[in-house]
Chains A and B, each alone.
Chain A
Amino acid sequence: GDSVTQMEGPVTLSEEAFLTINCTYTATGYPSLFWYVQYPGEGLQLLLKATKADDKGSNKGFEATYRKETTSFHLEKGSVQVSDSAVYFCALSDRTKAGNNRKLIWGLGTSLAVNP
């Protein structure tokens, strides 16, 4: 079945460092790919998404490119801030599922701590 694999955390960085969180996927159909973020004490929020190969999603300085050839959707940010400390989840949604069910299949999450 479909699955998502994320790099394990926790990741600890200093402010203004470069961030990469790796995400790879396995899917039989044509998935859409997502990054969600969960800030401390808050619910899951969509960070960015990409719907087809070579699409780049971006938001709040974060970027991820849908790479079909490597089945990857790595999250990057050039200069992290303390406020980026959160748990980041990679997820996929397979558009071919019957009944219009586009349930999300999730990675385990990667905890990021940014120190001043």
Chain B
Amino acid sequence: GAGVSQSPRYKVAKRGQDVALRCDPISGHVSLFWYQQALGQGPEFLTYFQNEAQLDKSGLPSDRFFAERPEGSVSTLKIQRTQQEDSAVYLCASSAPSGRGPDTQYFGPGTRLTVL
């Protein structure tokens, strides 16, 4: 497909379980972002990759959150020992820097995580 894809679309986890969320960016896009969107809120930045390098992880809420993009394409966001406050929609976006101004970020459909 031509867009950003994310899997799974929905995930239900019991408190304390580990989860892994996958993002397939648009082919060739250098930049990849993860955001967290709580119900009724705007997205909040979590982390940013440029190719395989994680250049900014200042938005990760705790050390239970970990993200990787080992080959500069697919990315995985892992949450260890999930808590109820982790329930949210996790959004992935990719962009292709043009050097001529702001890069449009293209978003995937998100993964809705519910922690029971």
A interface, CB within 8 angstroms of B: 4, 32, 34, 36, 42-46, 49, 51, 89, 91, 93, 95, 99-109
Contacts and interface: CB of A to CB of B under 8 A. Distances in A.
Given A108-B42, A109-B41, A49 B104 contact: yes
B1 interface: no
B80 interface: no
Interface of B: 4, 31, 33, 35, 40-45, 48, 50, 55-56, 59, 91, 93, 95, 97, 101-110
Contact of B105 (A42, A104, A109): A104
A60 to B, nearest CB: 15
A51 B101 CA distance: 7
A26 to B, nearest CB: 15
A101 B102 contact: no
Nearest to B46: A103
Contacts of B102: 32, 34, 49, 51, 93, 95, 102
A93 B33 CA distance: 13
Given A99-B56, A101-B55, A89 B42 contact: yes
Contact of A32 (B45, B50, B101): B101
Contacts of A36: 107
A46 B41 contact: no
Contacts of A102: 31, 95, 102-103
Contacts of A51: 101-102
Contact of B55 (A42, A93, A99, A104): A99
B56 A101 contact: yes
A106 B97 contact: no
Contacts of B33: 103-104
Contacts of A103: 33, 45, 48, 56, 59
Contacts of A44: 43, 91, 93, 107
Nearest to A36: B107
Ranked 10 nearest A-B pairs via Cβ: A106-B42, A32-B102, A99-B55, A44-B107, A103-B45, A43-B109, A101-B56, A43-B107, A101-B48, A108-B42
